[in-house]
Amino acid sequence: MRGRRMKLRDTPSVSPALWRALPCPAAELRLELVLPSGQTFRWRESSPGAWTGVLGDTVWTLRQERDRLWYTVYGGEAGADTDRLLREYFQLDVGLRDLYRSWGAADPLFREAAKDFPGVRVLRQDPVECLLSFICTSNNHISRITAMIERLCRAFGRHLCHLDAQPFHAFPSLAALAGDDAEARLRALGFGYRAKFVSGTARAITEGLGVEGLHQLRTAPYAEARKVLCTLPGVGTKVADCVCLMALDKAEAVPVDTHVWRIARQRYGMELGGRSITPRAHQEIGDFFRGLWGPRAGWAQAVLFCADLHKGREPVVSQDRDKES
């Protein structure tokens, strides 16, 4: 595949870099399971087995072939820096096969559910993009969230390029989403009550924590990082745990929504009072799975979520009712 170029239409000034490859067995990563599973909403299958999306301020196409992760970038050069970015994004330094064996040895239910779903790993995303994206997930489905994030980026983000007449945009800056008219524009784009949370959190970070402070939560203890996130508009414990897990290096964070709550009750026999996710139930479920699966419990939960996603109907990604008003 090295040297192959992707065909572009209507974009004479934009061309792909040469294809490069990283060693990556399917047991360590399967793009078709990870990219559309509700961790991120910026990738689409542009042709069979090829995934195109935005990472950072660059448009990429990824595909897997013969234990290699192949990629090309548009409007730039692929090299050692892009290798590093991709390795960090997929956290390829984490040995997934050993983790699967460890989780399966501790939990026969995990072993059975995960046998047909190898290569599901947790992404390491930009904290700002991850946070604002997951605010949009409350009581929502993956396909609808993906469409919302696309509208968000087109309306507020910087245009990067067109590929086959498809426009690609960077994720919006905090300044763009904190503007005086941002909430009204988001409502016009169909964000509903989430509009005030997206613009409000963008404003709160700009005026308080700051982008640097948000990034510094990667070195803070898990409980502290979650507590800080929950002070932001529209951020409940579920969204906070998603951000902790997928952007802030808290591998022990177990996001609990109605989907995971049901798994805990029906498959693992947890006695949880009521029919909704209380803060106590959220903590109990997280502690149970951390005790069962260990320090990367959030990664194991991502495998079960992905398995259920592919075996049943598309689940609601988040349900943080305490933050909807």
CA distance 67 to 185: 45
DSSP structure string for 69-113: EEEEEESS--SHHHHHHHHHHHTTTS-HHHHHHHHHHH-HHHHHH
Among 7, 115, 196, 238, the one annotated catalytic: 238
The three-state secondary structure class of 46 is: strand
Is 227 one of the catalytic residues? no
Ramachandran sector of residue 66 (left: φ over 0; alpha: ψ -120 to 50; beta: rest): left
Query: 87-95: long-range contacts (C-beta < 8 A, 24 or more apart)?
Result: 87/22, 88/124, 89/55, 89/123, 89/124, 89/125, 90/24, 90/29, 90/34, 90/121, 90/123, 90/124, 91/121, 91/122, 91/123, 91/124, 92/22, 92/24, 92/28, 92/29, 94/121, 94/296, 94/299, 95/28
> Cα torsion at 11, 177, 253, 36 (round to 10°)?
-30
Q: How big is the CA angle at 110 (ends 292 and 249), to the nearest 5 degrees?
A: 60
Could you list the active site residues? Answer: 238
